[in-house]
Amino acid sequence: MTEVLIADDSLRTLFIEMLWKDTVLASGTGFYYDCGDRHFLITAWHNLSGRHSQTGEYLCSHSVEPTVVRVHNRHLDETLVQVRDLPVVDDEGRPLWLEHPRLGLDVAALPYDFDEVALYTPWKMEDPALYRNRLWVTEEVAIVGYPYGLKGGADLPLWVRGTIASDPHIPYRGMPLFLVDSRTRKGQSGSPVLLFYRPGTQVPEHAPDGWGYRFHRTPVSRLVGVYSGRVSGESDLGYVWTIEAVNELCREGVCGTYDPPLASMLS
């Protein structure tokens, strides 16, 4: 019997649906993320709020905010999907997600209770030195998610290739993000953005005596950011929020609001 190889990152990436009561408003992408002993569902702010991140307008014709995010979890045996509803607001309608304490990010972190039996291994916070030297303009990245809600075999996500379009070491418009040139579409907001190395390729690694390269027989990836949408409907340029900013959000996050975090970009 031929062994089927699946990248761990496909199993970690989650299809999510935003619901108001029992009505599905939209679909998107997210992933579980461990920050110390705290556990979060990471996705785009506009997914959980149901509002445009720049104008604050409702994103669906129902003019309501989501009350629940339905997460399609990968099971540890890699063949099953468990559906789990996580509340987005409390009984008073107040947001349960966290936002960055100082910066406007179109990224939100929803705390959840970790169930080791039911969930595939989440991403864990890494030392940025593992990937920072590989982030250059024109460097290829993978955006893993569910465009238009489309799924691959076994409900796995689709991998879309992109290239870094703005210098990732210089904040775009003073914010912790960079641009990618990629054919992304609705439903991919909240996708993990990866440096991905196929089996048998040279992977840069940091050693005590400096940088070097090493061959790996299995895939190697580095989570470098979160995708949150295109700059406009006519452009193939999209926003990627840096994983450093996501780490700060998880460590220092404050209670969420419905105030559009990117309103300043319209001025």
Task: Please tell me which residue, 33 or 77, carries the higher pLDDT value.
Answer: 33
Checking if the pLDDT of 125 tops 60, the result is yes
Question: What is the CATH code for 8-260?
Answer: 2.40.10.120
Average pLDDT estimate for 72-100: 85
- Banded pLDDT at 37 (limits 50, 70, 90): confident
Average pLDDT estimate for 22-26: 94
Average pLDDT estimate for 85-98: 96
| Of the listed ranges 50-54, 86-90, 154-158, 236-240, the one predicted with least confidence | 154-158
Checking if the pLDDT of 256 tops 90, the result is yes
Beta strands in 114-248 (DSSP E): 123-124, 140-145, 158-164, 177-182, 192-197, 202-207, 210-215, 220-230, 237-242
Distance between CA atoms of residues 194 and 154, nearest Å? 21
- Banded pLDDT at 201 (limits 50, 70, 90): low
Residue ranges per structural domain of the chain: 8-260
- Banded pLDDT at 194 (limits 50, 70, 90): very high
- Banded pLDDT at 76 (limits 50, 70, 90): low
Q: Return the percentage of the chain with pLDDT > 70, whole number.
A: 84
How far is CA 174 from each of CA 93, 151, 171, 183, 246, rounded to the nearest angstrom?
32, 35, 5, 25, 16
| Of the listed ranges 46-55, 148-157, 242-251, the one predicted with least confidence | 148-157
Residues written for the chain = 267
Residue 130: what pLDDT?
66
Average of per-residue pLDDT values in the chain: 87
Residue 115: what pLDDT?
66
Average pLDDT estimate for 161-185: 95
> Is residue 103 exposed (0-12), middle (13-18) or buried (19+ Cβ within 10 Å)?
middle
Average pLDDT estimate for 162-187: 95
Checking if the pLDDT of 42 tops 90, the result is yes
Residue 36: what pLDDT?
84
